[in-house]
Amino acid sequence: MRRDLRFEEVYPYPLDVVWRSITSREALAEWLAPNDFEPVLGRSFEFRSDPKPGWDGIIRCKVLEVDPPRTLRYSWVSANGAVDTLVRFTLETVPEGTRLLLEHTGFRGAKSLLISFLIGAGWRKILRHRVRATVERLAAQP
Amino acid sequence: MELAVHFKMSLPAVSQHLRQLREAGLVEERRQGRQRIYRLEATPLREVADWLSHFEDFWRTRLVKLRDHLDAAKAKPAGTDKEPE
């Protein structure tokens, strides 16, 4: 099973502009989620999305590395700790502008998968769907 | 009991989760004397085995928004809050 996510994007803008967009509270609110981020090592902050059934909508984070204007790393914990992961942004100047590398790592195996089933946002829907399918299957039996 | 020792939660809590999994059709329960034997139902699990796709979609959507944000910031003259026409 895959454990890591990795995205690479090139933006036709200078390094410092892209850096601001991943470190400014207002910018982050615009493209990621409302937050109380501060680019200070050791600082805890939260991203807050709309709560969904089974999920409070809160992602709890802590700045683990901040090296302007190139590297930003923070912990990313949600769903009562079932998702206990790391997010890292790495910026690099390229001829076309700025390359952003986004890595979301630390997803564990089946244990957190099972717990996520029960408390994660998307999984609730799947479970409900499954329950209905199971009920319908049972109802169809003589 | 054997299952429960792998989790940092109480036995009743594990039972509760197992019951939900069973109701959801994700595990099958069989009683053998005082023991309950659980078997994983592979098919529904396989449907979501690639659970990272949830986060993959999340970030893909967000990175498109980041690009839009950068484009809008570029188009917007400094010091104004008005959206470009």
DSSP string, B28-83: EEEEETTEEEEEE-HHHHHHTS-THHHHHHHHHHHHHHHHHHHHHHHHSPTT--PP
pLDDT tens digits for range A6-59: 899 999 999 999 999 999 999 999 999 999 999 999 999 999 988 876 668 899
Coil, strand or helix at A88: strand
Whether residues B36 and B61 share a domain: the answer is no
Inform me whether the pLDDT recorded for B84 exceeds 60. Answer: no
Residue A25 to residue A5: CA distance in whole angstroms:
24
Residue B20 with chain A: CB contacts under 8 Å: 118, 127
CB contact under 8 A, B26 and A130: yes
Cβ burial A110-133 (10 Å sphere, 16+ → b, else e): eebbbbbbbbbbbbbebbeebeee
- Counting the structural domains of chain A, the total is 1
- Domain that includes residue A48, residue range: 5-140
Residue A33 to residue A43: CA distance in whole angstroms:
18
pLDDT of amino acid A40: 97
| Neighbouring-strand partners of residue A8 | A101
B18 pLDDT tier (thresholds 50, 70, 90): confident
- Mean pLDDT across B7-28: 77
pLDDT of amino acid A128: 52
Give the minimum alpha-carbon distance from B8 to chain A in angstroms, rounded to a whole number: 11
Inform me whether the pLDDT recorded for A73 exceeds 80. Answer: yes
Whether residues B24 and B56 share a domain: the answer is no
Residue A100 to residue B59: CA distance in whole angstroms:
13
Inform me whether the pLDDT recorded for A2 exceeds 60. Answer: no
Give the minimum alpha-carbon distance from B33 to chain A in angstroms, rounded to a whole number: 25
| Neighbouring-strand partners of residue B37 | B30
Which domain CATH number covers B33? Answer: 1.10.10.10
Nearest by CB to residue A7, choosing from B23, B50, B59, is B59
Phi-psi region of B79 (alpha: psi -120 to 50; beta: other; left: phi over 0): left
Inform me whether the pLDDT recorded for A121 exceeds 50. Answer: no
Whether residues B13 and B45 share a domain: the answer is yes
CB contact under 8 A, B55 and A114: no
Q: Which residue matches tokens 């502008």?
A: A97
Which domain CATH number covers A26? Answer: 3.30.530.20
Residue A14 with chain B: CB contacts under 8 Å: none
- Chain B contacts in chain A segment 82-111 (CB below 8 A): 100, 102, 104, 107, 111
Whether residues B40 and B66 share a domain: the answer is no
Across all residues in chain A, what is the average pLDDT? 81
Whether residues B5 and B32 share a domain: the answer is yes
Phi-psi region of A57 (alpha: psi -120 to 50; beta: other; left: phi over 0): left
- Domain that includes residue B81, residue range: 50-85
Nearest by CB to residue A131, choosing from B23, B48, B50, is B23
Whether residues B40 and B63 share a domain: the answer is no
Whether residues B16 and B57 share a domain: the answer is no
Whether residues B11 and B28 share a domain: the answer is yes
- Counting the structural domains of chain B, the total is 2
With a threshold of 0.80, does the pTM exceed it? no
